[in-house]
């Protein structure tokens, strides 16, 4: 922070849920003080140049794998939070598939303690079942009392429908949200990529779209039965979008996210047999990608979430059948989605930022994040240059891992500055601590 304790963001276009307008932004004491077309600079204030840039609420990620505790060789909360800040985020939701799993109060407290000093706010999601084993429910009431908002066995779907029904009933009573990874294990078993023309051509075992759609259909039926809201993680198929559209038309209380990689990459990438393109759910067909993009434009999708999943280099260099699924996403998410949705003319910049900010913040219950940019609001801000071209260099990632599928590719758009609770944690594309 500057010596005077205030920051002026000058020369940008402010974009939030209220629209787009030319304005400077004065930040002080952790909040937005003034938003006006032209501001003077208070003595001692730090001036951040936003010329040619969009000044938006900082991003919120519903789906981040920070790996700590248990897999610190891939990522730590500190390194992951640095990647998030560089990507324009002020808050992330840490997934519970750690070792041990985040399935009890003591581990929630431990992860929160590890997050002290992180560059961004880290909200903790808890598992739905003990050890994510799909057999016994976690102590929902105790964890909700601690402030846990999202519960998920991400990495696996809850296979037992009766158990998930009970979980929904508990969630409804407590006002928390279940976030489901839709994957029927019996249908997905052995699949290394999307089942389709490319898997047949390559002779690689495929995972059918039906594996996702069968569980999504079941879960929608359980929402209908219980009346309890549910969030669906990383939907990836055209069939899932059709089911989601039907559920919305019926008025079911459901939300859904997609990932930048499912909006931009297809199963054809696996023709290289490079495990950096192995992810779960798998990269799908061109038709699926088109359906996901249309769903973002039509308002069916509520959030773009990274599913940031770091893995050590040696793990991703293993043969395709042995390598773990997962991709980095925090540093590239906004640029990838900008190219897939805004540059293509499908949606406006304001709509894109709503998918990254206010809507995921609402789902996660993070009221201090997501905007709007207005006097008196917490100063979580992202300054994004939509014209700058950036070469993705995996070895320069802030993450401890390098498994980005965009390595060696040029992307359009770069985060110039990020402020979290009024503190500039990224200035001119460089983390400040």
* pLDDT, mean of each 10-residue run, the chain (433 residues): 74 92 97 94 95 98 98 98 98 98 98 96 98 98 98 97 98 98 98 98 98 98 98 98 98 98 98 98 98 98 98 97 98 98 96 97 97 96 98 97 98 98 98 93
The whole-number pLDDT of residue 304 equals 98
* Pair (123, 266) in one structural domain: yes
The residue among 341, 364, 387 that closes a domain is 364
From the candidates 307, 322, 385, 428, give the one annotated as an active-site residue: 307
Q: Name the residue among 223, 63, 220, 62 with its Cα closest to residue 155.
A: 63
List the end-to-end C-alpha distance of the chain, in Å, as a whole number.
12
pLDDT of the residue at 3: 37
The alpha helices in 276-421, defined as continuous H runs, are 286-298, 313-316, 333-337, 349-356, 358-364
Dmax (CA) of the chain: 67
Two structure tokens written together for 263: 């909006």
Q: Please check whether residue 384 lies inside any domain of the structure.
A: yes
Count up the domains in the chain and report the number: 2
Decide if 38 is inside a domain: yes
Q: Kindly give the residue spans of alpha helices, DSSP state H, lying in 23-117.
A: 77-86, 105-114
Do residues 214 and 345 both lie within one domain?
yes
Does the bond joining 281 to the residue before it have cis omega, within 30 degrees of 0? yes
Same domain? For 126 and 38 the reply is no
Together in a domain, 358 and 412: no
Residue 36 structural domain: 6-55+377-431
Domain-embedded: residue 256: yes
For residues 196 and 260, state if they share a domain: yes
- Cα 361 → chain centroid: 11
Residue 372 within any structural domain of the chain: no
Q: What's the pLDDT score for residue 18?
A: 83
Domain boundary among 336, 364, 392: 364
293: CATH: 3.20.20.140
Residue 183 and residue 41 share a domain: no
pLDDT at 5: 81
Give pLDDT, residue 19.
Answer: 87
Is residue 1 one of the residues assigned to a domain? Answer: no
Q: Which of 335, 364, 393 is the last residue of a domain?
A: 364
Instruction: Check which CATH number belongs to the domain holding 45 and give it.
Output: 2.30.40.10
Query: In whole angstroms, what is the distance from residue 388 CA to residue 216 CA?
Result: 39
Q: Is 343 helix (H, G, I), strand (E, B) or coil?
A: coil
In a domain, 369, yes or no: no
| Domain identity same for 22 and 81 | no
**Dist. CA 190–CA 204, nearest whole Å:** 10
Give the number of other CB atoms < 10 A from CB of residue 12: 25
DSSP secondary structure letters along 144-185: HHTT--EE--TTS----HHHHHHHHHHHHHHT-EEEE----H
Residue entry with tokens 């920070």: 66
pTM for the model stands at 0.97
Residue 303 Cα distances to 18, 102, 360, angstroms = 18, 23, 6
Kindly state whether residues 62 and 123 are assigned to the same domain.
Answer: yes
Same domain, 64 and 19: no
The reply to whether 401 falls in a domain is: yes
307 is catalytic: yes
Domain match, 347 and 406 both: no
Reference 260, options 204, 301, 216; nearest CA is 301
Report yes or no on 370 lying in a domain: no
Same domain, 69 and 212: yes
Copy the structure tokens of residue 239: 């069939």
Residues 41, 93 within the same domain: no
Contact 88, 59 (CB under 8 A): yes
């Amino acid at each position: 922070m500057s010596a005077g304790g205030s920051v002026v963001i000058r020369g940008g276009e402010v974009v939030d849920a209220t629209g787009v307008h030319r304005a400077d932004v004065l930040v002080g004491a952790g909040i937005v003080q003034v938003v006006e077309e032209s501001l003077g600079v208070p003595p001692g204030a730090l001036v951040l140049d936003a010329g040619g840039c969009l000044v938006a609420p900082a991003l919120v990620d519903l789906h981040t794998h920070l790996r700590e505790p248990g897999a610190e060789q891939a990522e730590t909360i500190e390194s992951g939070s640095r990647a998030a800040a560089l990507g324009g985020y002020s808050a992330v939701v840490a997934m519970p598939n750690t070792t041990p799993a985040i399935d009890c109060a003591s581990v929630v407290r431990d992860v929160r303690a590890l997050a002290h000093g992180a560059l961004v706010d880290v909200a903790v999601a808890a598992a739905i079942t003990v050890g994510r084993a799909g057999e016994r429910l976690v102590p929902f009431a105790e964890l909700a009392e601690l402030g846990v908002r999202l519960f998920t066995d991400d990495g696996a779907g809850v296979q037992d429908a009766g158990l998930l029904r009970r979980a929904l009933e508990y969630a409804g009573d407590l006002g928390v949200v279940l976030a489901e990874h839709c994957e029927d294990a019996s249908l997905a078993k052995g699949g290394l990529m999307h089942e389709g023309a490319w898997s047949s051509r390559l002779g690689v075992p495929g995972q059918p779209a039906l594996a996702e759609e069968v569980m999504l259909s079941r879960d929608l039926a359980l929402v209908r039965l219980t009346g309890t809201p549910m969030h669906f993680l990383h939907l990836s198929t055209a069939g899932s979008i059709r089911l989601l559209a039907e559920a919305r038309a019926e008025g079911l209380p459901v939300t859904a996210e997609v990932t930048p990689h499912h909006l931009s990459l297809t199963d054809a990438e696996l023709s290289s047999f490079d495990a950096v393109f192995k992810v779960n759910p798998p990269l799908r067909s061109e038709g699926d990608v088109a359906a996901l993009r249309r769903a973002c434009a039509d308002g069916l999708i509520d959030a773009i979430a990274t599913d940031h999943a770091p893995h050590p280099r040696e793990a991703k260099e293993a043969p395709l059948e042995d390598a773990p699924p997962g991709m980095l996403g925090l540093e590239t998410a906004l640029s990838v989605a900008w190219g897939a949705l805004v540059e293509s003319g499908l949606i406006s910049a304001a709509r894109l930022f709503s998918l990254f900010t206010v809507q995921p913040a609402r789902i996660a219950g993070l009221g201090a994040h997501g905007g709007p940019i207005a006097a008196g609001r917490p100063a979580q801000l992202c300054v994004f240059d939509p014209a700058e071209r950036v070469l993705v260099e995996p070895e320069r990632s802030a993450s401890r891992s390098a498994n980005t599928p965009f390595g060696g590719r040029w992307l359009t758009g770069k985060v110039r500055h990020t402020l979290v609770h009024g503190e500039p944690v990224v200035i001119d594309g460089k983390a400040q601590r």
